[in-house]
A = this chain, B = another copy of it.
Amino acid sequence: MEAEAEAVHEDELRDAWPVLSPRERVEGFHLLRPERARDFFATLEPPEQVGLLQALSPGERGTWLRVMAPDDAADVVQRLPPEEREDWLALLDAPSLREVRALLAYGEDAAGGLMNPRFVRVRPELRIDEALSYLRRQAREQVETVYYAYVLDAEQRLVGVVSLRQLFQATPDKVVREVMRTDLVRVREDTDQEEVGRLFGRHGLVAIPVVDGQGRMKGIVTVDDIVTVVQEEATEDIQKVGGTEALGAPYLEVGLRAMLKKRAGWLLVLFLSEMLTATAMTRYQDEIARAVVLSLFVPLIISAGGNAGSQASTLVIRALALAQVRLRDVWRVLRREIVSGLLLGAVLGAVGVTRILLWQELFHLYGEHFLKVAFTVGLSVLGVVTWGTLAGAMLPFLLRRMGFDPASASAPFVATLVDVSGLVIYFTTAEFILRGTLL
């Protein structure tokens, strides 16, 4: 009964966490029994852990840092402002400090920065029964998992892996070399975490070993760490696609000032770029003065291009992120998107023409040259949608090629790009079709 009541309390604290002040968080946290507190602490996201640790006394902070796995401790330290890092590191004991420092040397997004250096290693000549009793002893140590033992040669090079399950199945007098798997998936220290996430997804693994350039084993990345990584990467991509910088922390945890900084940057860039539409419109203001009817369809036409472009860029961004499409596939995607753009443009163009003819029939809004106006709009929609689709699909490739994140080809960015060119397409078409009549 007591356990039940405690469990509720822990969950309630977890639920209320985002809305509590730092002091209330510390108070709530201190109300938990020690072993509950440890579980609870583990359920916090890294930014939340940093916040809690900052609010605790240095003594308590040190205790919690020391019980964390080295990769988690490194993750926390990495999220601190640079000037605070050394103070926190000073709270660690010497062996942990060495491990955490080694991990901090890796890029935050690399396999090296995710791995835990505490894994079980065995020699290939070990007998199965010896290996089993060794694993049994290791179960008491702070290793990440005892369910996989990595087989290293004398130079610490990774030569195979053996699962506890395989050891269980094997006859005790065989040696590890006879039962180990040698065709194992491994990553380099500098492998990007997105790639690591894909390998977990593709192979359904529980842990992946990390090796250095000489094939020496450095640590393991486990799948529970990667679930968080996959979520974070997707969050980053979604936020970028929506036209904002990645927040890097839960929405309600980000201060208003920080949030505005992340949003204002892109909004300003987009606003300044969009000013080109005013420039373009100025170039065509005589045409508008002569044929106000043209201005009526400006938002419709440019938004059609923007929407088609958003679709194409989003699909390509995600396909690139999941490695479903690679840089070398650019021509296949191009062919595909040209066809898509033309067909989608034709459908929307036809709908646009129908709308104008129908409204003309009903309300007589568009003057005597309504047929030419309808034709202008239809053709412009076809052109703008095709161009928007192409631009949206190619921009992520271009960004990746230049070493940027393809996700920066956000929906608003593509829409802005297409708005300006869409105006040129529209008014050029209009000049061509309406010259001598309306223009």
Q: Please report A residues at the B interface, Cβ cutoff 8 Å.
A: 3, 7, 18-19, 39, 42-43, 45, 135-136, 139-140, 146-147, 164-165, 168-169, 182-183, 197, 200-206, 223-228, 230-231, 234-235, 237-239, 241-244, 247, 250-253, 256, 259-260, 263-264, 266-268, 270-272, 274-275, 277-278, 281-282, 285, 288-289, 292-293, 295-300, 302-304, 306-308, 310-311, 313-319, 322, 324-325, 329, 332-333, 336, 339-340, 343-344, 347-348, 351-352, 355, 365, 385, 410-412, 415-416, 419, 423
Contact = CB atoms under 8 A, between A and B. Distances in A.
Contacts of A45: 202
A250 to B, nearest CB: 4
B318 A238 contact: yes
A251 B315 contact: yes
Contact of A251 (B18, B319, B351): B319
Given A204-B224, A251-B325, A274 B260 contact: no
Query: What are the 8 closest A-B residue pairs judged by CB atoms, nearest first?
Result: A242-B314, A234-B234, A251-B319, A411-B411, A277-B299, A250-B324, A139-B168, A204-B224
Interface centre among A18, A169, A205, A303 (most CB of B within 10 A): A303
Contact of A201 (B231, B278, B344): B231
B243 A307 contact: yes
B296 A299 contact: no
A292 B302 contact: no
Contacts of A293: 285
Contacts of A234: 230-231, 234-235, 237-238
A278 B373 CA distance: 13
Contacts of A241: 238, 241-242, 314, 411
Contacts of A164: 146-147, 164
Given A139-B169, A242-B314, 18 more contacts: A7-B183, A42-B203, A146-B165, A204-B227, A205-B224, A223-B227, A234-B237, A239-B315, A242-B310, A243-B311, A251-B315, A252-B332, A259-B336, A263-B340, A263-B344, A271-B348, A292-B292, A298-B298
A76 B78 CA distance: 42
A419 B303 contact: yes
B183 A315 contact: no
A329 B252 CA distance: 9
A235 B410 CA distance: 15
A275 B324 contact: no
Interface centre among A139, A201, A237 (most CB of B within 10 A): A201
Nearest to A351: B271
Given A203-B43, A268-B348, A278-B297, A316 B243 contact: no
A310 B223 contact: no
Contacts of A228: 201
Contacts of A325: 250-252
Nearest to A297: B278
Contacts of A263: 311, 340, 344
A270 B303 contact: yes
A385 B268 CA distance: 12
A422 to B, nearest CB: 9
Contact of A300 (B42, B223, B271): B271
A169 B135 CA distance: 10
A200 B226 CA distance: 10
